[in-house]
Every structure is written in C-alpha cells, then in structure tokens.
C-alpha cells in the first residue's frame, strides 16, 4: 500500500521541502540542490572491502539558475532530507516532464530507517541536452508501507549523508 499525502505529513518523512506543492496524492516531489559530473571510475565488489565510489565535481548553475547538461550521466543531490519510517520503504521515480525532455532518473531502494539528503543518477539521453533549473522537480518519492515494522533500520555507509 502506498502511503498517501496525509500519512507522509503525519509521519514527518520529509524535512527541508521547498513548499506544500511538492506533496502529491501518492508521494513527494524531490528537487535538485546540486549536480555533479563524474570525475573517475568507481569500483564495486561483493563485500564492499574494495568498493570505491566515483569522485564527482560539482557543476554550477548560470546567472538564471540553470545548469546546461550535455548527453550523459550525472549525480544529483536533493534539497530534501528524507526520513524513511521503519514501517516503510521508498522508491524515487522520474517525473513525467523529465522523461518527456529525454532524460531519466535512476535510484536504488530507500530502506526503512534511512535518514539523509540522498542522491540519484540523472541520465540525459536527449542529443540536445537538458537545461535543469536549481530546485527543479525531477523525481517523485513513493513510500510503500511494509506488512510490519522492520526489526532493524538501515545502518549502511550512506546513513546521515549530506546533512
């Protein structure tokens, strides 16, 4: 069962949102705070002993508040601080306007108990690129209620990130 707007507000799952207009009937719109270009390769292994997250360099916004993105992959950071309840899990899906501009958003599962200002992968497929304004709405986070509360909350490397 997806958590409706009134439950999201009641559970205080989002802090630092820019306005009430971000709450949708079945989720919350997430907005862009920062955009990064990848600066090197990453490394993924089985038990994270050799894991190396790719370095990234922040891209600025122009005097009108836009970042001019060429075709490619970018890391974005959200404005909003997300607090996933222990009885829920969340996914971020791209807003349809982003898709209609030839870009998409990739995100992993947001586990019960995660708290932080998360990041996602923005992929620009459009040959002409994308102009993305600071604070632009790019994704919608949907919360799914678990059958029962998780016995343990998220305790990984990204807990409390970007706070």
- Ordered structural domains, the chain, with CATH: 5-40+56-145 (2.70.40.10)
CA distance 111 to 122: 20
Res 19 pLDDT > 90: no
Which of the four pLDDT bands, split at 50, 70 and 90, describes residue 51?
A: very high
Q: Which residue has the higher pLDDT, 10 or 58?
A: 58
* Local structure of 81: helix, strand or coil: strand
Average pLDDT, the chain: 94
pLDDT at 6: 77
Q: What is the pLDDT of residues 64-84, one digit of tens each?
A: 999 999 999 999 999 999 999
Containing H/E element for 5?
A: helix 5-11
pLDDT above 80 for 60: yes
70: helix, strand or coil: coil
| pTM given for the model | 0.91
Q: pLDDT-based confidence at 133, cuts 50/70/90?
A: very high
| Confidence band, pLDDT 50/70/90 cuts, at residue 117 | very high
How far apart are alpha carbons 145 and 68 in whole angstroms?
Answer: 37
Rounded CA separation 121/75 (Å): 5
């Amino acid at each position: 069962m997806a958590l409706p707007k009134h439950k999201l507000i009641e559970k205080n799952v989002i802090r630092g949102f820019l306005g009430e207009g971000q709450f949708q009937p079945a989720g919350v719109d997430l907005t862009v705070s920062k955009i990064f270009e990848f600066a090197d390769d990453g490394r993924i292994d089985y038990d994270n002993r050799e894991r190396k997250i790719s370095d990234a360099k922040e891209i600025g916004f122009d005097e009108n508040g836009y970042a001019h993105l060429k075709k490619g992959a970018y890391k974005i950071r959200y404005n909003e601080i997300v607090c996933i309840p222990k009885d829920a899990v969340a996914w971020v899906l791209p807003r349809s306007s982003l898709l209609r501009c030839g870009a998409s958003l990739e995100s992993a599962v947001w586990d019960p108990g995660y708290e932080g200002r998360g990041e996602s992968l923005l992929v620009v497929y459009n040959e002409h690129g994308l102009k993305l304004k600071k604070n632009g709405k790019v994704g919608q986070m949907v919360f799914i209620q678990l059958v029962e509360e998780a016995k343990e909350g998220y305790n990984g490397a990204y807990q409390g990130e970007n706070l």
